């Protein structure tokens, strides 16, 4: 309990010993430290907001605000259906909201650009708007993982009143995606991009949006219907494979333990629509008693039916199983039979291998490490700002210490005679200290001796001068 009071007492004594200038310097340094700390705190917590949507109806604005609240995103609202969000989240939020169909009632972006002026014509303003939309759509789409670049081209219908309805051409849009190597987008991602573009242009429908990759493959042709590359088919096959995979793992984990097996299942599903026309003939019962010599015309009942198969049948299933230890050939055969029976396929469609995959476990741990969340930009900046702030504080403290040391020292007390008399006798004190002359000539030495004699014995010198004067008079 005595330590704090003792420290306070020492601080007070130290403060009372400081001069006026030192106190002013200390207070200034403390104020500087507080100012720097407050400034660093403000810089770390400041957020800049940008426009997310404008011109929303009050109902849709409330829906989007509710959605942002569920996503734990900071936002601001203003009159006129305006929603503002942090600048670093604008593009990603537009992608997430567009995949859910927002906005539904209005254009997603601001209608004015810095290129507009008083002399700008309506046609030029309209072109500026299209350019702005294309640029913002490209920036938003490039935020998707795996997208290297995106080129958006919009053909927006002129909705002027003087244009005849029969001459109206529907708005269209095209998107060229440059994807990273070995990257493919899911149907949900492509649908979200399609909705983003369609909701950004008045009068544009999803059917009039074309999305292709850098190799010219149409990516959104199979999302709704139709032949060709069907991304939904791939997704469904993947989900079916996961179902079979979980079934196999549940069978083998009780035997080989958790993570004791690695399973991969490949499922092929036939989505071909088939229509079968079937005609069935049945003989007509004409009764008994007919004459044997009478010509008879055979009549049959005809039943015609049409069977439509919408597809979705599993055409082939194959599986590969790796056991994380060495097992015998007999045990591999038993595992093969168990897996084949669980999938309902022939044993030839199942491959069982045994090996220790410690290296695979190591790669798995490295992958998990890579998936850990990266520090935010603010956390990264804090890593540099905080040391700078600490350095500023240390500099301020050093400045105070230097100012204290530079205080004017008090004049030292004069030495008393009693203190001086204790000096050893081998160092006698003399009234005069003889001058030290280097390279002195004989003439200079005589002059010096005369001068010294004159200053030492002025009376004798005066008497000699008087004697010389008397001799001259005689």
With 70 as the cut, is the pLDDT of residue 322 above it?
yes
Which residue intervals of 71-186 are DSSP H helices? 90-99, 122-141
**Distinct helix (H) and strand (E) counts, the chain:** 13, 11
Question: Which residue blocks in 212-317 are alpha helix, DSSP H?
Answer: 231-256
228-250 pLDDT, tens per residue? 445 667 778 888 889 999 999 99
Burial 417-447 (b: 16+ CB within 10 A, else e): eeeeeeeeeeeeeeeeeeeeeeeeeeeeeee
Does residue 192 contact residue 95 with C-beta atoms inside 8 Å? yes
CA distance 138 to 150: 5
Nearest-angstrom CA–CA distance, 319 and 264? 6
What is the Cα–Cα distance from 166 to 162, expressed in whole angstroms? Answer: 12
Question: In this model, does residue 424 exceed pLDDT 50?
Answer: no
Look at residue 211 in the predicted model and tell me its pLDDT: 93
pLDDT reported for residue 337: 92
Q: What is the DSSP string of 6-46?
A: HHHHHHHHHHHHS-HHHHHHHHHHHHHHHHHHHHHHHHHH-
User: Rounded CA gap, 165 and 386, in Å?
Assistant: 64
Write down the pLDDT at residue 339: 92
Local structure of 155: helix, strand or coil = strand
Q: Check residue 77 and report its DSSP letter.
A: E
Per-residue pLDDT of 5-53, as tens digits, reads: 777 777 777 777 777 777 788 788 888 888 888 877 777 767 788 888 8
Burial 202-223 (b: 16+ CB within 10 A, else e): eebeeebbbbebeeeeebbbbb
119: helix, strand or coil? coil
Instruction: Report yes or no: 304 and 273 within 8 Å, Cβ to Cβ.
Output: no
Name the average pLDDT for the chain.
Answer: 75
What pairs with residue 309 in β-bridges? 274
Report residue 423's pLDDT band, with 50, 70 and 90 as the boundaries.
Answer: very low
Given a cut of 70, whether residue 293 has pLDDT beyond it is no
Distance CA 103, CA 97 (A): 8
Cβ-proximal residues to 301 (8 Å cutoff; 6+ apart), any chain? 281, 282, 283, 284
Question: For residue range 74-124, what is the model confidence (pLDDT) as tens digits?
Answer: 888 988 788 999 888 888 888 788 777 777 654 444 444 444 556 667 777
8 A C-beta contact, residue 103 and residue 56: yes
Q: Where are the alpha helices (DSSP H) in 46-186?
A: 58-70, 90-99, 122-141
- Structural domains in the chain, CATH included, are 1-46+375-408 (no CATH), 47-106 (3.30.70.1530), 119-228 (3.30.300.30), 236-286+297-370 (no CATH), 434-467 (no CATH)
Q: Is the model more confident about 167 or about 173?
A: 173
What count of Cα atoms within 13 Å lies in the side-chain half-sphere of residue 233? Answer: 19
State pLDDT tens for residues 428-468: 444 444 555 556 677 777 777 777 877 787 777 777 777 77
Q: Which two tokens stand for residue 431?
A: 């009234």
CB atoms within 10 A of CB 339: 26
CB 236 within 8 A of CB 225: no
Nearest to 44, CA basis, from 392, 388, 385: 385
Q: Model confidence at 133, in pLDDT bands (50, 70, 90)?
A: confident
């Amino acid at each position: 309990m005595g330590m704090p009071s003792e420290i306070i007492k020492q601080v007070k004594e130290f403060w009372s010993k400081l001069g006026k200038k030192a106190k002013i310097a200390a207070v200034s340094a403390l104020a500087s430290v507080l100012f720097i700390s407050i400034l660093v705190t403000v810089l770390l917590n400041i957020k800049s907001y940008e426009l997310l949507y404008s011109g929303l109806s009050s109902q849709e604005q409330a829906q989007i605000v509710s959605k942002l609240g569920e996503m734990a995103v900071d936002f601001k609202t203003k009159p006129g259906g305006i929603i503002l969000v942090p600048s670093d989240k604008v593009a990603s939020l537009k992608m997430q909201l567009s995949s859910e169909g927002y906005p539904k009632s209005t254009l997603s972006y601001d209608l004015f650009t810095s290129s507009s002026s008083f002399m700008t014509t309506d046609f030029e303003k309209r072109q500026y708007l299209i350019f702005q939309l294309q640029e913002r759509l490209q920036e938003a789409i490039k935020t998707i993982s795996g997208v290297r670049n995106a080129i958006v081209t919009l053909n927006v219908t002129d909705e002027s009143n003087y244009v005849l309805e029969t001459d109206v051409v529907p708005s269209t849009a095209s998107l060229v995606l440059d994807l990273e190597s070995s990257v493919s987008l899911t149907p949900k991602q492509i649908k979200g991009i399609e909705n983003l573009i369609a909701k950004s242009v008045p009068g544009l429908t999803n059917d009039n949006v074309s999305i292709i990759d850098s190799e010219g493959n149409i990516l959104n042709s199979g999302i709704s219907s139709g032949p060709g590359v069907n991304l939904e088919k791939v997704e469904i096959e993947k989900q079916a494979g996961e179902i079979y995979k979980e079934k196999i793992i549940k069978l083998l984990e009780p035997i080989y333990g958790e993570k004791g097996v690695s399973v991969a299942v490949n499922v092929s599903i036939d989505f071909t629509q088939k229509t079968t026309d079937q005609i069935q003939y049945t003989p007509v019962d004409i009764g008994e008693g007919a004459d044997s010599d009478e010509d008879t015309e055979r009549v049959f009942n005809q039943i015609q039916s049409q069977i439509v198969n919408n597809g979705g049948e599993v055409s082939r299933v194959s599986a590969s199983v790796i056991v994380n230890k060495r097992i015998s050939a007999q045990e591999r055969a038993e595992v093969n039979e168990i897996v084949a029976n669980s999938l309902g396929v022939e044993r030839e469609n199942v491959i069982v291998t045994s090996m220790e995959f410690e290296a695979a476990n190591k790669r798995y741990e490295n992958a998990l490490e890579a998936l850990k969340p990266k520090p935010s930009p603010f956390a990264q900046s804090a890593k540099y700002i905080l040391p700078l702030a600490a350095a500023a504080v240390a500099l301020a403290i050093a400045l105070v210490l230097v100012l204290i040391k530079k205080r004017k020292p008090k004049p030292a007390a004069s030495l008393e005679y009693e203190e001086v008399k204790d000096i050893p006798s081998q160092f006698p004190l003399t009234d005069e200290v003889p001058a030290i002359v280097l390279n002195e000539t004989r003439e200079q030495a005589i002059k010096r001796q005369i001068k010294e004699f004159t200053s030492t014995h002025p009376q004798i010198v005066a008497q000699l001068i008087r004697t010389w004067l008397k001799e001259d008079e005689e």
